[in-house]
Amino acid sequence: MLIYLIKRLIGMIPLIIGITFISFIVIHLAPGDPTQFLSSMNPKVSETARDKFIKMYNLDKPVHVQYLLWLKKFVKFDFGESFSQDRKKVIDKVLERLPVTLWLNIASLALVFIIALPLGVLSAYMKDSVFDKALTIFVFVGFAIPTFWLALLCMYYFGVILGILPISGLTSYNFAELTFFGKIADIVKHAFLPVALSVFGSLAGLSRFSRNSMLDVLNEDYILAARARGIPENKIIFKHALKNALLPVVTILGLSIPGLIGGSVIFESIFSIPGMGQLFYQSVMMRDYPVIMGILVIGAFLTLLGNLLADIMYAAVDPRIRYRKKS
Amino acid sequence: MKRQICLLILLVFIAVFGCSENSDKGEAKSKTGLAAVAKTYGDALVDGSIGDASNLIPILATDSSSHSVASWIYNGLLKYDKNLKLVGDLAENYSVSEDKKVITFNLKKGIKWHDGAPFTSEDVKFTYELIVDDKTPTAYDSDFRIVDHIETPDNYTVKVFYKQAYAPALASWTTSILPSHLLKGVEVTKSPLQRKPVGTGPYKFLEWKPGNSITLVANEEYFEGRPNIERYVYRIIPDSATMFLELLNGTIDMMGLSPLQFAKQTDNPRFNAKFNKYKYLSNSYTYVGYNLKNPLFKDKRVRQALTYATPKDDIIEGVLFGLGQKATGPYKPTSPWYNPNVKKYEYNIEKAKSLLAEAGFKDTDNDGILEKDGLKLKFTIITNQGNSSRSMVAEILQNSWSKIGAKVDIRILEWATFINEYIDKRDFDAVILGWSIPLEPDLYDIWHSSKCEGKNLNFICYQNSEVDKLIEEGRVEFDFEKRKAIYNKIQEILAEEQPYTFLYVGESLIALSNRFENVEPAPAGLMHNFIKWYVKKENRKYIFTQ
* Rounded Cα distance, B123 and B175, in Å: 12
Helix, strand, coil percent values for chain A (each to nearest 5): 75, 0, 25
Predicted confidence band at B18 (pLDDT cuts at 50, 70, 90)? very low
Q: Give tens-digit pLDDT for B384-401.
A: 998 899 999 999 999 999
Residue A41: is its pLDDT beyond 80? no
Helix (H, G, I), strand (E, B) or coil at B219: coil
Q: Chain B window 62-91: which residues touch A at a Cβ cutoff of 8 Å?
A: 62-63, 66
Residue A226: is its pLDDT beyond 90? no
Q: Which residue has the higher pLDDT, A47 or B160?
A: B160
* Rounded Cα distance, A84 and A292, in Å: 12
| Nearest-CB residue to A44 (from B140, B145, B233) | B140
CA distances from B132 to B101, B138, B143, B534 (A): 19, 9, 10, 40
Q: Give tens-digit pLDDT for B402-423.
A: 999 999 999 999 888 898 889 9
Strands B516-517 and B534-535: antiparallel
Lowest mean per-residue pLDDT among A157-171, A178-192, B31-45: B31-45
Give how far B176 is from chain A: nearest CA, Å: 15
- pLDDT number for residue B25: 34
A159 contacts B245? CB cut-off 8 A: yes
Sign of the alpha-carbon torsion through A224, A227, A228, A229 = positive
If you average pLDDT over residues A231-244, what whole number do you get?
81
DSSP B177: P
pTM score: 0.84
Q: How many CB atoms lie within 10 A of CB A153?
A: 12
Sign of the alpha-carbon torsion through B318, B322, B324, B325 = positive
Contacts with B237 from chain A: Cβ below 8 Å: 168-169, 272
DSSP B413: E
CA distances from B167 to A140, A317, B93, B447, B472 (A): 66, 78, 17, 17, 10
Which residue does chain B place closest to A285, by CA atoms? B416
Q: Give tens-digit pLDDT for B327-348.
A: 999 999 988 899 999 999 999 9
Residue A314: is its pLDDT beyond 80? no
CA distances from B73 to A57, B69, B122, B377, B524 (A): 29, 7, 19, 54, 19
A48 contacts B242? CB cut-off 8 A: no
Burial group, residue B260, by CB count within 10 angstroms (0-12, 13-18, 19+)? middle
Q: Which residue has the higher pLDDT, A156 or A239?
A: A156
Residue A284: is its pLDDT beyond 90? no
DSSP B439: S
* Rounded Cα distance, A246 and A251, in Å: 9
* Rounded Cα distance, B200 and B124, in Å: 12
Helix, strand, coil percent values for chain B (each to nearest 5): 35, 25, 40
Q: Chain B window 92-121: which residues touch A at a Cβ cutoff of 8 Å?
A: none
Calculate what percentage of chain A has a pLDDT beyond 90. 14
Give how far A152 is from chain B: nearest CA, Å: 7
- pLDDT number for residue B273: 93
- Residue B364 makes CB contacts below 8 A (sequence gap 6+) with B371
Residue B36: is its pLDDT beyond 70? no
Q: Chain B window 426-465: which residues touch A at a Cβ cutoff of 8 Å?
A: 438, 445-446, 455-457
Calculate what percentage of chain B has a pLDDT beyond 90. 75
If you average pLDDT over residues B358-386, what whole number do you get?
92
- pLDDT number for residue A237: 81
Contacts with B238 from chain A: Cβ below 8 Å: 269, 272, 278, 281-282
- pLDDT number for residue A208: 85
Contacts with A174 from chain B: Cβ below 8 Å: 542
Q: Give tens-digit pLDDT for B420-474.
A: 889 989 999 999 999 998 888 999 999 999 999 888 899 999 999 999 999 999 9
Closest CA to B340 of B486, B505, B479, B491: B491
Dihedral angle of Cα B536, B220, B131, B182, to the nearest 10 degrees: -140
- pLDDT number for residue A38: 65
- pLDDT number for residue B33: 38
Q: Which residue has the higher pLDDT, B226 or A108?
A: B226
* Rounded Cα distance, A194 and A277, in Å: 13
If you average pLDDT over residues A243-266, what whole number do you get?
73
Interchain CB contact of A147 with B (< 8 Å): no
Q: Which residue has the higher pLDDT, B30 or B323?
A: B323
DSSP A1: -
A272 contacts B239? CB cut-off 8 A: yes
* Rounded Cα distance, A290 and A277, in Å: 15
Q: Chain B window 214-253: which residues touch A at a Cβ cutoff of 8 Å?
A: 233, 235-239, 241-242, 245-246, 248-249, 251
Question: Mean pLDDT highest for which of A10-24, A65-79, B307-321?
Answer: B307-321
| Nearest-CB residue to A39 (from B139, B420, B438) | B139
Contacts with A39 from chain B: Cβ below 8 Å: 62, 139
Beta bridge partners of B80: B86
If you average pLDDT over residues B472-479, what whole number do you get?
92
Q: Give tens-digit pLDDT for B361-371.
A: 999 888 889 99
If you average pLDDT over residues B179-186, what whole number do you get?
94
Give how far A167 is from chain B: nearest CA, Å: 6
Orientation of helix A180-218 relative to helix A90-125, angle to 10°: 50
Orientation of helix A63-74 relative to helix A289-317, angle to 10°: 50
Predicted confidence band at A322 (pLDDT cuts at 50, 70, 90)? low
| Nearest-CB residue to A167 (from B249, B417, B542) | B249
Region of B207 please: left (phi>0), alpha (psi -120 to 50) or beta.
beta
Q: Give tens-digit pLDDT for B136-146.
A: 888 888 889 89
Q: Output the average pLDDT for chain B.
A: 90
A160 contacts B52? CB cut-off 8 A: no
CA distances from A128 to A123, A125, A235, A246, B9 (A): 8, 9, 21, 21, 99
Orientation of helix A289-317 relative to helix A2-29, angle to 10°: 150
If you average pLDDT over residues B147-156, what whole number do you get?
96
- pLDDT number for residue B29: 35
A32 contacts B416? CB cut-off 8 A: yes
Predicted confidence band at B17 (pLDDT cuts at 50, 70, 90)? very low
Q: Output the average pLDDT for chain A.
A: 84
* Rounded Cα distance, B114 and B119, in Å: 10
A177 contacts B545? CB cut-off 8 A: yes
Contacts with B545 from chain A: Cβ below 8 Å: 177
Calculate what percentage of chain B has a pLDDT beyond 70. 92
If you average pLDDT over residues B66-89, what whole number do you get?
94
DSSP B84: S
Helix (H, G, I), strand (E, B) or coil at B43: strand
A173 contacts B233? CB cut-off 8 A: yes
Strands B102-107 and B91-96: antiparallel
| Nearest-CB residue to B194 (from A50, A86, A97) | A86
If you average pLDDT over residues B311-336, what whole number do you get?
94
DSSP B291: -
Predicted confidence band at B16 (pLDDT cuts at 50, 70, 90)? very low
Q: Chain B window 140-179: which residues touch A at a Cβ cutoff of 8 Å?
A: 140-142, 145
Contacts with A146 from chain B: Cβ below 8 Å: none
Lowest mean per-residue pLDDT among A315-324, B126-135, B182-191: A315-324
